[in-house]
Amino acid sequence: MTATRRELTIRLAGPRGFCAGVDRAILIVEKALEKFGAPVYVRHEIVHNRFVVESLQEKGAVFVEELDEAPIDRPIVFSAHGVPKSVPADAEARQMIYVDATCPLVSKVHREVERHHKAGHIVVLIGHAGHPEVIGTMGQVPDGSIVLVETVDDVAKLNLPDNMPLAYATQTTLSVDDTAAIVDALRARYPHIAGPKREDICYATTNRQAAVRALAAESDAVLVIGAPNSSNSRRLVEVARVAGCPKATLVQRASEIDWAWLDGVRNLGVSAGASAPEILVDEVIEACRARFDVTVGEIIVAEEDVEFKLPRLLAS
């Protein structure tokens, strides 16, 4: 007689997974391959997800970290995270064909930083040191005209004259709550600091965090599908824990799930970072079905219909 399998209710976060900027970046690489043929080079991972990167490699994309790793007679695509101004300048000097897949919402932050610099402001950037988006944003203006803070404590350590014109900007993939605390600390210390009309955290990050917050309230555990180097994916785990579900973890694929971790879990919340494709969510559900009697539902907090245009070079 077959043993009765334990019941498991999976609630999916809505929205989850790919955002418009990621969709656009992947499509740019695919369109470049169609237009120019393989190989097409890509500077840095186009988005932070190994499944996506390996899928594009199979189609003829070659990923490199710096321009000098790519031949000058092949096109190169810049990743969705954005690049310092020096990178397209170098590509032009080498007479390379390049396509910029920077997310338009990241480009918006770049323009804000440039505008503040031209107005004579020192810019305080809220973000994570070493993240490609932060490197790209800081590279929009000369050294010394932008400073990075990662925490509220960093704000206390700033050594900027009180009468210096200041402005702030934020990395797009941060935790909404953490960033709000840092912005509050900046405004308390420098009441004259200028900033965007609303924080630069993108709609997709905000929506995915809101969905996970709702999910955490009804889950015994939360599983976030995403890469360990994906800022927005790691933030979703943090959001789940802060929202009352301490049993939250990040996996890249179903094969990484520690099934003993699910002992005693009856309600499992599942989300995916903005660079994780839906096929990986399906893979997790099927892996659960192989072990449990699964019921699947969804908690939807927002609908998304954002689309970004392709660069002119690939639009036709």
Active site residues: 133
| Tokens representing residue 59 in the block | 């189609």
268/264 Cα distance (integer angstroms): 10
Beta-carbon count within 10 A of 60 CB:
15
By C-alpha distance, which of 11, 28, 48 is closest to 274? Answer: 48
Please provide the DSSP assignment of 190-258 as one string: -TT-B--SS----HHHHHHHHHHHHHHTT-SEEEEES-TT-HHHHHHHHHHHHTT---EEEESSGGG--
Residue found by looking up tokens 């609303």 in the block: 198
| Tokens representing residue 36 in the block | 């120019």
109/111 Cα distance (integer angstroms): 5
CA angle 235, 188, 129 (to 5 degrees): 35
| Tokens representing residue 99 in the block | 């396509």
